[in-house]
Amino acid sequence: MNPNLLRVTQRIVERSQQTREAYLARIEQAKTATVHRSQLACGNLAHGFAACQPEDKASLKSMLRNNIAIITSYNDMLSAHQPYEHYPQIIRQALHSVNAVGQVAGGVPAMCDGVTQGQDGMELSLLSREVIAMSAAVGLSHNMFDGALFLGVCDKIVPGLAMAALSFGHLPAIFVPSGPMASGLPNKEKVRIRQLYAEGKVDRMALLESEAASYHAPGTCTFYGTANTNQMVVEFMGMQLPGSSFVHPDAPLREALTAAAARQVTRLTGNGNTWMPLGKMIDEKVVVNGIVALLAT
């Protein structure tokens, strides 16, 4: 391995030793010998599963089966997040197949800079990351869960969700992507139409049709921007299933990967022999690995 990389990594390890040890101690303190909901009073627990289907209620009463939190950033404004509309149902079905339960624990806001650039709404862009982190943490705070699945892909959303996931670092967590938009109008043609519009040779409707042909379907943007680089980082860091980032939203493999992520997170909970909480998995070396791998793409 590159000696400079080793040296930088070791320096990070040494500088973060005290805070890392304190963080790991919090994780150990939060760990339970059985499902987390067993710590709740009966009244708390009854509120927690009041709206569940009878079979899920029975599973949650048993104190033997995993309950997985679903944190979703679904909305219709973001092409990359619109596919998440039906993910909870796919996830629940996959969890049922391994005798587990899934609950949508909370939703977080998600905004697209492509919509707000040049508008007053852009002032909320970076702030939204903190709001997302806090919103996801509110959902997880019910302490009903043995693991979590995070549905989000774009910039601000992935970092915000990661902040929340690591705040509940005693839980295993997997990020679930929605996939990229299929290629649309080639960039050269889009640039040509923009130039013609700037010269007054085509009207606004022609420009709009060109832009709409470029960004034309569900999925992340068709260029290698931050929505897609975020996917690479979390995949390199082991927070997302290998190879899951760039499968189109409407491909059969996309649904299969979503179901696989749901089943996989149940294998990592404290109820088995392979407890792998996110906070222990993500250490200094993993962060450096994510940075190096991203720079290599």
pLDDT in tens, 73-123: 999 999 999 999 999 999 999 999 999 999 999 999 999 998 998 999 999
Q: Give the range among 1-15, 28-42, 200-214, 259-273 with minimum mean pLDDT.
A: 28-42
Is 125 part of a structural domain of the chain? yes
pTM: 0.95
- Helix (H) / strand (E) element for 42: namely helix 42-49
Is 169 part of a structural domain of the chain? yes
What's the pLDDT score for residue 108? Answer: 98
- Helix (H) / strand (E) element for 101: namely strand 101-107
Q: How much is the average pLDDT of 257-284? A: 94
Per the structure, the complete domain to which residue 134 belongs is given by 39-182+217-296
Is 152 part of a structural domain of the chain? yes
What's the pLDDT score for residue 192? Answer: 97
Q: How much is the average pLDDT of 204-209? A: 96
Number of domain units in the chain: 1
What's the pLDDT score for residue 35? Answer: 81
Which residue is listed with tokens 């492509």? 114
List the CATH number of the domain containing 144: 3.40.50
Q: Kindly report, residue by residue over 114-155, the tens digit of the pLDDT.
A: 899 899 999 999 999 999 999 999 999 999 999 999 999 998
Using CA atoms, how far apart are residues 112 and 190, in angstroms rounded to an integer? 20
Q: Residue 91, class by beta-carbon neighbours within 10 Å (0-12 exposed, 13-18 middle, 19+ buried)?
A: buried
Is 132 part of a structural domain of the chain? yes
Is 151 part of a structural domain of the chain? yes
